[in-house]
Amino acid sequence: MLGFIGAIFDANDLLPFMIFSVPIVAIVGGITAGIVKTMTDAKMMENAQRERMAAIQRGIDLDKLPPLPVIGGSGGEFMAGFNPTAAQRHRAQGLLIGGVITLFAGIGIATFLYFIVEPGDSDRVWAIGIIPVFIGLALLLSSWIVWPRGGSGTSA
Protein backbone atom coordinates (compact mmCIF):
# COMPACT_ATOMS: atom_id res chain seq x y z
CA MET A 1 0.00 0.00 0.00
CA LEU A 2 2.79 2.43 0.88
CA GLY A 3 4.48 1.67 -2.44
CA PHE A 4 1.28 2.62 -4.26
CA ILE A 5 1.06 5.95 -2.41
CA GLY A 6 4.76 6.54 -2.98
CA ALA A 7 4.26 5.97 -6.69
CA ILE A 8 1.44 8.53 -6.82
CA PHE A 9 2.93 11.21 -4.56
CA ASP A 10 6.49 12.38 -4.49
CA ALA A 11 7.77 13.47 -1.06
CA ASN A 12 8.05 17.04 -2.34
CA ASP A 13 4.39 16.96 -3.43
CA LEU A 14 3.22 15.68 -0.06
CA LEU A 15 5.01 18.31 2.03
CA PRO A 16 2.62 21.22 1.24
CA PHE A 17 -0.35 19.04 2.19
CA MET A 18 1.28 18.19 5.51
CA ILE A 19 2.17 21.82 6.22
CA PHE A 20 -1.41 23.00 5.69
CA SER A 21 -3.02 20.02 7.39
CA VAL A 22 -1.76 20.98 10.86
CA PRO A 23 -3.52 24.37 11.08
CA ILE A 24 -6.63 22.99 9.39
CA VAL A 25 -6.88 20.16 11.92
CA ALA A 26 -6.25 22.62 14.79
CA ILE A 27 -8.95 25.00 13.60
CA VAL A 28 -11.50 22.26 12.95
CA GLY A 29 -10.64 20.66 16.31
CA GLY A 30 -11.05 23.96 18.15
CA ILE A 31 -14.40 24.66 16.53
CA THR A 32 -15.56 21.11 17.26
CA ALA A 33 -14.46 21.37 20.90
CA GLY A 34 -16.37 24.65 21.25
CA ILE A 35 -19.52 23.12 19.78
CA VAL A 36 -19.27 20.04 22.01
CA LYS A 37 -18.74 22.22 25.11
CA THR A 38 -21.72 24.41 24.26
CA MET A 39 -23.96 21.40 23.66
CA THR A 40 -22.78 19.72 26.87
CA ASP A 41 -23.35 22.88 28.92
CA ALA A 42 -26.82 23.34 27.43
CA LYS A 43 -27.73 19.71 28.18
CA MET A 44 -26.46 20.03 31.77
CA MET A 45 -28.48 23.22 32.29
CA GLU A 46 -31.58 21.60 30.74
CA ASN A 47 -31.26 18.58 33.04
CA ALA A 48 -30.83 20.83 36.10
CA GLN A 49 -33.95 22.79 35.13
CA ARG A 50 -35.98 19.60 34.58
CA GLU A 51 -34.85 18.28 37.95
CA ARG A 52 -35.83 21.57 39.56
CA MET A 53 -39.28 21.57 37.90
CA ALA A 54 -39.89 17.97 39.00
CA ALA A 55 -39.00 18.88 42.59
CA ILE A 56 -41.34 21.90 42.47
CA GLN A 57 -44.16 19.69 41.14
CA ARG A 58 -43.67 17.38 44.12
CA GLY A 59 -44.13 20.35 46.44
CA ILE A 60 -40.57 20.84 47.62
CA ASP A 61 -39.89 24.37 48.90
CA LEU A 62 -37.78 26.52 46.56
CA ASP A 63 -35.45 27.51 49.39
CA LYS A 64 -34.47 23.86 49.92
CA LEU A 65 -33.44 23.38 46.27
CA PRO A 66 -29.82 23.92 45.28
CA PRO A 67 -29.13 26.87 42.97
CA LEU A 68 -28.89 26.30 39.24
CA PRO A 69 -25.33 25.60 38.09
CA VAL A 70 -23.29 28.38 36.49
CA ILE A 71 -22.43 27.20 33.01
CA GLY A 72 -19.35 28.41 31.17
CA GLY A 73 -16.76 30.93 32.27
CA SER A 74 -17.16 33.57 29.58
CA GLY A 75 -20.79 33.34 28.54
CA GLY A 76 -22.54 31.82 31.52
CA GLU A 77 -22.33 34.63 34.04
CA PHE A 78 -25.82 35.80 33.15
CA MET A 79 -27.39 32.55 34.33
CA ALA A 80 -26.52 33.06 37.98
CA GLY A 81 -27.01 36.80 38.02
CA PHE A 82 -25.04 38.91 35.57
CA ASN A 83 -22.36 41.08 37.14
CA PRO A 84 -21.10 43.48 34.44
CA THR A 85 -18.06 44.53 36.48
CA ALA A 86 -16.99 40.92 36.95
CA ALA A 87 -17.52 40.22 33.24
CA GLN A 88 -15.49 43.30 32.32
CA ARG A 89 -12.72 42.29 34.73
CA HIS A 90 -12.73 38.75 33.32
CA ARG A 91 -12.36 40.11 29.76
CA ALA A 92 -9.57 42.48 30.85
CA GLN A 93 -7.69 39.67 32.60
CA GLY A 94 -7.93 37.54 29.46
CA LEU A 95 -6.51 40.37 27.38
CA LEU A 96 -3.77 40.93 29.96
CA ILE A 97 -2.72 37.29 29.97
CA GLY A 98 -2.80 37.09 26.17
CA GLY A 99 -0.83 40.33 25.90
CA VAL A 100 1.92 39.21 28.26
CA ILE A 101 2.27 35.83 26.53
CA THR A 102 2.32 37.36 23.04
CA LEU A 103 4.74 40.12 24.05
CA PHE A 104 7.26 37.70 25.50
CA ALA A 105 6.80 35.25 22.62
CA GLY A 106 7.71 38.07 20.23
CA ILE A 107 10.74 39.02 22.31
CA GLY A 108 11.77 35.35 22.36
CA ILE A 109 11.36 34.97 18.60
CA ALA A 110 13.34 38.15 17.93
CA THR A 111 16.12 37.07 20.29
CA PHE A 112 16.23 33.57 18.84
CA LEU A 113 16.43 34.84 15.27
CA TYR A 114 19.05 37.43 16.22
CA PHE A 115 21.42 34.80 17.60
CA ILE A 116 20.74 32.04 15.09
CA VAL A 117 21.41 34.02 11.90
CA GLU A 118 24.89 33.54 10.48
CA PRO A 119 26.95 36.69 9.84
CA GLY A 120 26.57 37.71 6.22
CA ASP A 121 22.96 36.53 5.98
CA SER A 122 20.18 39.03 6.25
CA ASP A 123 20.97 40.77 9.52
CA ARG A 124 17.44 41.98 10.13
CA VAL A 125 15.64 38.63 10.31
CA TRP A 126 15.12 39.25 14.04
CA ALA A 127 12.67 42.03 13.12
CA ILE A 128 10.02 39.37 12.45
CA GLY A 129 9.63 39.19 16.23
CA ILE A 130 8.47 42.81 16.28
CA ILE A 131 5.06 41.78 14.92
CA PRO A 132 4.05 39.66 17.95
CA VAL A 133 5.68 42.23 20.26
CA PHE A 134 3.35 44.95 18.96
CA ILE A 135 0.36 42.59 19.05
CA GLY A 136 1.18 41.86 22.69
CA LEU A 137 1.47 45.56 23.44
CA ALA A 138 -1.88 46.18 21.75
CA LEU A 139 -3.48 43.47 23.90
CA LEU A 140 -1.97 45.00 27.05
CA LEU A 141 -3.30 48.41 26.02
CA SER A 142 -6.74 46.88 25.37
CA SER A 143 -6.65 45.28 28.81
CA TRP A 144 -5.85 48.63 30.40
CA ILE A 145 -8.67 50.32 28.46
CA VAL A 146 -11.40 47.80 29.41
CA TRP A 147 -10.25 47.29 33.02
CA PRO A 148 -13.12 48.37 35.33
CA ARG A 149 -12.43 51.60 37.18
CA GLY A 150 -13.91 52.58 40.57
CA GLY A 151 -17.66 52.48 41.02
CA SER A 152 -19.66 49.96 43.02
CA GLY A 153 -19.42 46.21 42.63
CA THR A 154 -15.68 46.04 42.15
CA SER A 155 -15.28 43.05 44.48
CA ALA A 156 -15.38 39.63 42.89
pLDDT-derived band at 153 (thresholds 50, 70, 90) equals: very low
Q: Could you tell me which of 30, 31, 33, 53 has the C-alpha nearest to residue 41? A: 33
Q: What is the largest CA-CA distance in the chain?
A: 83
Q: Kindly report, residue by residue over 28-43, the tens digit of the pLDDT.
A: 999 999 999 889 988 9
Domain chopping of the chain, boundaries: 1-79, 83-148
Q: What is the mean pLDDT of residues 10-20?
A: 72
Measured from the Cβ of residue 28, the count of other Cβ atoms closer than 10 Å reads: 10
State the pTM of this model: 0.49
Measured from the Cβ of residue 150, the count of other Cβ atoms closer than 10 Å reads: 5
